[in-house]
Amino acid sequence: MKNKVALVTGSTSGIGLAIAKSLAEKGCRVMLNGSREASKVESLLTELNRDHDVAYQRANMMDPEAILRMVKACEATFGKIDILVNNAGIQHVAPIEEFPLEKWDAIIAINLSAAFHTIRAALPGMKEKKWGRIVNIASIHGMIASPFKAAYVSAKHGMVGLTRVVALETAKAGITCNVICPGYVMTPLVENQIADQAKAHGIDRKAVYEMFLKDQPTGRFVDPSEIADLVTFLSSDAAASITGTILPVDGGWTAK
């Protein structure tokens, strides 16, 4: 995958960072993204640039204009975008009648609309080269529902629909678009949920771990590297005929 350029949204931690590292290890030049100012990720960039070629573009995935600037900055820095990974995401858990309106808007914007904006902006360049890979990171909640996750479940189901449309629209253009649906992966997003649940229910973290893992037949959290390896495969030439697919990486959750 030498000479390929990847843009990975929400890639300063968790799954996104694992994806960025995996693609960089395969020889891609990678544009990282996050909402934090560049000075906050300087040490991460220095560390990655020891062995790889990466840059960082700050852009809030709630802001369509910032998203467009990020895509243009990637094309200006590295000359093109071959691989686009829509990974940025947030979570909020509350019963629907109490769901804060601003949380609904933020989750729909970051977890769904941002992918529409990045794809819309990156596709012309991919079509010109007749080569492109788009990988969307949804969730098992793009396939099934859980209570109290109205915005997250809606956005992730939307991501699955968006993926299918893009796959059909690009099928003859040398571009693929797929969506990965992880079960629980141990990242800061899940660590925060575990801490919140432990506090809310007055129980210890181990009990919350067990609560989370009861749905995942393997009985363990998915490792971020497992998602990253799949993204890297989907981004390779070997995956040219895999498009429009929904790929659960959920330890057997949806087999039940």
Catalytic residues: 152
Of 22, 87, 178, 216, which one interacts with ligand NAD (CB under 6 A)?
87
Of 16, 125, 248, 251, which one interacts with ligand NAD (CB under 6 A)?
16
The whole-angstrom separation of Cα 116 and Cα 126 is: 15
CB closer to ligand NAD, 2 vs 256: 256
* Sign of the CA dihedral running 34, 158, 246, 82: negative
| CB distance 156 to 199 below 8 Å | no
Applying the rule CB under 6 A, the residues between 145 and 164 that interact with ligand NAD are: none
| CB distance 123 to 138 below 8 Å | no
Of 10, 125, 248, 251, which one interacts with ligand NAD (CB under 6 A)?
10
CB closer to ligand NAD, 13 vs 197: 13
The dihedral formed by the CA atoms of 39, 43, 49 and 51, expressed in degrees to the nearest 10: -170
62 binds ligand NAD (CB under 6 A): yes
CB closer to ligand NAD, 123 vs 222: 222
Find the part of the chain contacting ligand NAD (CB under 6 A) among 84-92, 127-135, 168-176, 196-204.
Answer: 84-92
CB closer to ligand NAD, 90 vs 239: 90
61 binds ligand NAD (CB under 6 A): yes
CB closer to ligand NAD, 88 vs 167: 88
**Other Cβ atoms closer than 10 A to 241:** 6
| CB distance 18 to 227 below 8 Å | yes
Residue 168 contacts by C-beta under 8 Å, 6 or more apart in sequence? 244
- Give the DSSP per-residue string, 35-47: SS-GGGGHHHHHH
- Give the DSSP per-residue string, 40-92: GGHHHHHHHHTTS-EEEEE--TT-HHHHHHHHHHHHHHHS--SEEEE------
Applying the rule CB under 6 A, the residues between 167 and 196 that interact with ligand NAD are: 182, 184-185, 187-190
Of 23, 110, 119, 230, which one interacts with ligand NAD (CB under 6 A)?
110
Token readout for 89 is: 């995401």
Closest distance of CB 36 from ligand NAD, Å: 7
118 binds ligand NAD (CB under 6 A): no
Binding site for ligand NAD (CB under 6 A): 10-16, 34-35, 60-62, 87-90, 110-111, 137, 139, 182, 184-185, 187-190
